[in-house]
Amino acid sequence: MNTPRDRARPLRIIVIGGGVGGLSLAQGLRRAGVDDVVVYERDDSPRGRMQGYRLRISPEGERALRECLPHRAQDLLTATSNVRHEQGLAAYDERLTPQWAPEFDDSRGDAPDKVDAVDRVTLRRILLAGLDGVVRFGERFTHFERAGGKVVAHFAGGGSDTGDVLVAADGANSQVRAQSRPAYRALDLGVRAILSRTPRAGAIEAGLPEVLRDRFVNVTGSNGLRLALMPMVFRTPPRKAAERLWPGLEFDETEDYYMSVFSVHRDVLRLPDSAFFAMTGEELRDLVLERTTDWHPDLRGVFAHAEAAETYPLALRVTTPVEPWEPGDVIPLGDAAHTMPPTGGVGANTALRDAASLCRALASVTRGERSLPDAVAEYQREMVKYATEATEMSLKIAKWSMRKIDLTEGNLPRT
């Protein structure tokens, strides 16, 4: 009789995209003893495009991270995570009058080592730790083809690699998805956002009131503008934490900050996309100041001190409904499978969940417990369920915060 050991199938796994999901998958596979994995990332180095914003980590996201990461990296993650503060969201109008706000459940309660938010750049460094030789930087995936029962990935520099499995972890504008599911494009919600970062010390000096300092704050302006303000206060600065927990692992000097996201509907913004997306950090900061002249001065002080180099324009998009891909050797993960607006703070958490789940699925194939199509089909069945819930929740909050979003079927353009 054929035992799982007889059916064991070594897999060469090619991951496109070294973001939150792709790197977690690589970590998880290595932890599970699946060593033939390589990650191709278009950024030239781990520093990449430094979008130093913070990420909220949900209970599901934390569980997945802990499942994928070795213990030392988990300790570093906890040590560099956000100092825990009050739960939930505080809502105000632009004159700082308190408003009603939805509540978030957190099944972790007050666990002392819970990780409820991290700095994205710090997380990426932690996810890269120990993956020397696994991640190839400066490799932009262009297309794949099938040859001899294998999948061949091609890169802009002319190189290629052949594997048994190709994982599309290349984010919201996935090139793998563009080839394998060209019609499955994201819908443009019509919301334009300005993402920026203000050093905590600067914001406090500028008069940020005590009551707003340590909370996730949402401000609704009567002029159709929304502000989400989130603190990132490191329990231990990453460099210091690494000296203790992982000597030799390098981190940049980092300071505590507030991440702010201004959002406004395109109809209210009244700027063509070509102009909005061409704006520099300084111009975007000035735009926010110009549109908030009647806002409380203590709030305006926060973005007057925003770092121009860390200020970016953004469009809110969604892929809905979430659909499985053909269960085979090209497998979607994270934003490539399900792009959702950042309003729910769950996009990365869903990508992490995918990583842990796909890791289990692929490891079971290498042990001969299941066939690849069966394992991938089951991974996607689960993924579609929880990613649909996450997408719907994110859309609900987006709609709550921006009533102009028109979710009527067929009304949103695909981009």
88-127: contacts with ligand FAD (CB under 6 A): none
- Does the protein bind ligand FAD through residue 194 (CB under 6 A)? no
How many CB atoms sit inside 10 A of residue 14's CB? 25
Record the tokens describing residue 388, joined without a space: 């649909």
| Of 231, 347, 362, 383, the one binding ligand FAD by CB under 6 A | 347
Q: Which listed range, 178-186, 234-242, 348-356, 375-383, lies at the site for ligand FAD (CB under 6 A)?
A: 348-356
In the sheet that holds 141-147, the strands lie side by side as 141-147, 150-155, 160-163
Min dist CB 314 to ligand FAD, Å, is 6
- Does the protein bind ligand FAD through residue 52 (CB under 6 A)? no
Amino acid symbol at 299: L
**C-beta closer to ligand FAD: residue 319 or 366:** 319
| Of 11, 13, 15, 18, the one binding ligand FAD by CB under 6 A | 18
Residue 278 phi/psi, 5-degree rounding, is -95, -5
Min dist CB 8 to ligand FAD, Å, is 29
323-342: contacts with ligand FAD (CB under 6 A): 334-336, 342
Beta strands in 266-341 (DSSP E): 312-318, 330-332
Min dist CB 194 to ligand FAD, Å, is 10
**C-beta closer to ligand FAD: residue 55 or 245:** 55
- Does the protein bind ligand FAD through residue 390 (CB under 6 A)? no
Beta strands in 206-280 (DSSP E): 216-220, 225-232, 257-265
* Nearest Cα residue to 194 out of 268, 118, 283: 283
Total number of residues binding ligand FAD (CB under 6 A)? 33
Amino acid symbol at 229: L
| Of 13, 14, 21, 191, the one binding ligand FAD by CB under 6 A | 21
- Does the protein bind ligand FAD through residue 313 (CB under 6 A)? no
Query: Using an 8 Å Cβ cutoff, are 130 and 73 in contact?
Result: yes
- Which 3 state secondary structure label does DSSP give 166? strand
- Does the protein bind ligand FAD through residue 216 (CB under 6 A)? no
| Of 13, 19, 128, 358, the one binding ligand FAD by CB under 6 A | 19
DSSP string, 171-213: -TT-HHHHHH-TT--PEEEEEEEEEEEEEHHHHHHTT--HHHH
How many CB atoms sit inside 10 A of residue 2's CB? 7
H or E element: which one contains 290?
A: helix 281-291
Binding mask 225-264 for ligand FAD (x = CB under 6 A): ------------------------------------x---
As a whole number of angstroms, the distance between CA 337 and CA 37 comes to 20
Residue with nearest beta carbon to ligand FAD: 19
Applying CB under 6 A, the residues found at the interface with ligand FAD are 16-22, 40-43, 53, 55-56, 140-141, 169-171, 175, 195, 261, 314, 334-336, 342, 345-349, 351
